[in-house]
Amino acid sequence: MKKLVVATGNPGKLREIQEYLTDLVVELHLKPDSLEIEETGTTFVENACIKASQVAKALGEWAIADDSGLEVEALNGAPGIYSARYARSDRERIDRLLEELGDSTNRQARFVCAIAIARPDGAIAASVEGICPGEILYTPCGTSGFGYDPIFYVPEEKQTFAQMKPEIKRKISHRGKAFEKLIPQLLRIGDW
Ligand code: ITT
């Protein structure tokens, strides 16, 4: 059975990534905490490739990485690739975003997720991107999920990511859209 290292230190992401991979015949391993990768790219895809490639090379195993974030229209796309670096905790990141947005009536936003898979030598075998449009609420709502979920409202579902059943978020989210593209590519690449 092929080993695949999940190159993330974010437990919320890890939970979701594991769910998408349950049907593959693959042995999932965790990236050791001591192996930290600097995100020096300027796009989500670049950062996902950097993380997957460096972790794969360091461990000599296949690796999968996710780089994701929230782009807010009225903030010219911020926090974007800096979503994790926006403040120290999920609560502080949400507070900062709501403060920066103030009472702006343009609440349009989108979550973006790039996923990359690297071979044991670090070469990228596949990379994809998924997008989920939505709106930023004025106050947080809901307790499921992680990160910015409580302020991200999806009009089609009439609820935030943090109010959704996990199986709904799993299907419609930026990560869900990315995995929808990734799985067929993965199946073509190797015997998972
Ligand atoms: P790794 O790089 O170790 O995977 P990270 O948290 O640093 O973990 P990113 O650089 O990709 O990951 O930052 C993603 C940020 O966007 C982070 O603050 C998340 O909370 C947020 N985010 C990404 N996907 C999300 C989702 O589905 N729901 C809520 N917030 C999300």
Test site for ligand 1: of 148, 151, 164, 170, most ligand atoms within 8 A of the Cβ: 148
Q: Among the residues of the chain, which ranges form H helices?
A: 11-20, 44-59, 90-101, 166-172, 174-189
Mean pLDDT confidence for 1-7: 91
Catalytic residues: 67
- Interval 116-152: pLDDT, tens: 999 999 999 999 999 999 999 999 999 999 999 999 9
Report how far ligand 1's centroid is from the alpha carbon of 10 (Å): 7
Domain interval for residue 18: 2-189
Number of domains in the chain: 1
Distance, CA 70 to ligand 1 centroid (Å)? 9
Residue 167: pLDDT above 90? yes
Ligand 1 center to residue 176 CA distance, Å? Answer: 14
In angstroms, the Cα distances linking 117 to 6, 15, 30, 65, 158 are 10, 17, 14, 7, 33
Return the closest-CA partner of residue 62 out of 7, 130, 128: 7
Residue with the two structure tokens 């910015």: 148
- Ligand 1, atom 8, lies closest to the CA of 10
Task: Give the other-Cβ count within 10 Å of 93's Cβ.
Answer: 20
pLDDT recorded at residue 120? 96
- 183 confidence band (pLDDT: 50, 70, 90): very high
Tell me: pLDDT of 82 over 80. Answer: yes
Q: Is the pLDDT confidence value at 20 over 90? A: yes
Q: Tell me the HSE value of 110 on the side-chain side, using a 13 A CA sphere.
A: 12
pLDDT of residue 72: 98
**pLDDT, tens digit, 9 for 90 and up, residues 94-111:** 999 999 999 999 999 999
Average pLDDT over residues 14-20: 95
Contact 17, 186 (CB under 8 A): no
| Contact of 83 with 68, CB cutoff 8 Å | yes
In terms of pTM, does the model score above 0.85?
Answer: yes
- CATH label of the domain that carries residue 32: 3.90.950.10
pLDDT at residue number 190: 75
- Interval between CA 13 and ligand 1 midpoint (Å): 7
Q: Indicate the top mutation candidate among 53, 55, 83 to test ligand 1's pocket, ranked by most ligand atoms within 8 A of CB.
A: 83
pLDDT value of position 25: 79
